[in-house]
Amino acid sequence: MAIISINGEFSLRKIEESGQCFRWTELSEGSFLIQSGNRLLTIRPGGEQNRYEVSCSIPEWNSFWHHYFDLDTDYAAIRSMIDRRKDPYLFKAAEAGREIRILNQDPWETLISFIISQRKSIPAIRTCIEKLCIAAGKQLEESTNGTAYYAFPSPEALASLDEERLSECGLGYRTRYIAATTNLIASGTVSLEEMQNLNDEEQLSVLMKLPGVGIKVASCVQLFGFHRLNAFPKDVWINRTLQEHYPEGFPYRQYDPYSGVMQQYLFYYRRREEKE
């Protein structure tokens, strides 16, 4: 238990609603249970401005969660690349999403999660991942409330499940994608560590060689797992936005190397409009 302060733009809810993560749960107004890899955090508004109560120690916050939440990136500076008159739509979207940050998530967890995400609704994706964690993830320390929590399975742990067990997690036709990709990673045939060293273009093409990974999933892994802030995943929502507001094409050059951040603002804004 510790109190930490986060100065700058930061909204747990907006991050959660920006579609990057599938293992966040809102416990009560503004409080979240967040799972990443084999870690678990609860975070609550701490009364005073910019203060939060977190379930971890200060050293763990500093060594892991601070980076996870990407607190050292200056998003205001990134947003200042947007010209209000030239691109009023993006400007509005970015104002609406100004407290969004691109999380530093684990590439492996991100890869598997986004392979699962294809043609699935967000609740269904969450259910699937949850089942996968229960089936193959290490059980975490029993918490005080008696609920069991599980880590995201390591490549080896996932590789040890046969396809039938995988399928029972509700993966559907994605089962063979997950099995094949997992084997490539667990066997060391493909190395996510080595992908860290590739430039954006090379990294994208290596990712796309994995079974079940096309352009959209690969871009999500780049943006949300490898923190490549220029990666620009195009899902159905973004495609609609591009058609409606950028018939001449989105000015990627203008926002290089942060077009992925702009994509997040557009995504969040579009989803939000849809709800209202």
Partner DNA sequence: AGGCAGGTTCTTA
Partner DNA sequence: TAAGAACCTGCC
State the pairing for strand pair 24-28/31-36.
Answer: antiparallel
Q: By CB under 7 A, what part of segment 189-208 binds DNA?
A: 208
Q: Are 3 and 61 in contact (CB under 8 A)?
A: no
Binding mask 115-154 for DNA (x = CB under 7 A): --xxxxxxxxx-x---------------------------
Binds DNA (CB under 7 A): choice among 10, 14, 15, 19: 19
Please identify, using beta-carbon distances, which residue of 79 and 174 lies nearer to DNA. Answer: 174
The piece of 41-49, 64-72, 96-104, 232-240 that touches DNA (CB under 7 A) is 232-240
The answer to the question of residue 26 lying near DNA (CB under 7 A) is no
Backbone angles phi, psi at 55, to 5 degrees: -85, -5
Among 211, 246, 252, 254, which residue sits at the site for DNA (rule: CB under 7 A)? 211
User: Is residue 237 within the footprint of DNA (CB under 7 A)?
Assistant: yes
Report the residue number, 85 or 119, with the smaller CB distance to DNA: 119
Q: Are 203 and 225 in contact (CB under 8 A)?
A: no
13 near DNA, rule: CB under 7 A: no
261 binds DNA (CB under 7 A): no
Do residues 269 and 92 touch, judged by C-beta distance below 8 A? yes
Match 């916050």 to its residue by tokens. 61
DSSP state of 174: G
CA distance 78 to 76: 5
Alpha-carbon distance 151 to 57, whole Å?
Answer: 19
Query: What CA–CA distance (Å, rounded) separates 187 from 209?
Result: 16
Token pair in block for residue 157: 């742990």
Interface pick for DNA out of 137, 153, 155, 212 (rule CB under 7 A): 212
- Shortest distance, position 3 Cβ to DNA, whole Å: 30
**Nearest distance in Å: CB 117, DNA:** 5
Candidate list 11, 73, 167, 183; residue touching DNA; CB under 7 A: 167
- Contact (Cβ atoms closer than 8 angstroms) between residue 256 and residue 200: no
Contact call for residues 101 and 13 (beta carbons, < 8 A): no
CA 237 to chain CA mean position, Å? 16
- CB count within 10 Å of CB 49 equals 8
267 binds DNA (CB under 7 A): yes
The minimum distance between CB 167 and DNA, in angstroms, equals 6
Q: Which is nearer to DNA, 84 or 209 (CB)?
A: 209
Beta bridge mates, 118: none
Out of 137, 155, 233, 260, point to the residue binding DNA (CB under 7 A): 233
CB of 252 to DNA, least distance (A): 17
DSSP, res 150:
B
SS3 label, residue 250: coil
What's the closest the beta carbon of residue 191 comes to DNA, in angstroms?
19
Interface positions with DNA (CB under 7 A): 18-19, 117-125, 127, 167, 170-174, 177, 208, 210-218, 233, 235-237, 267
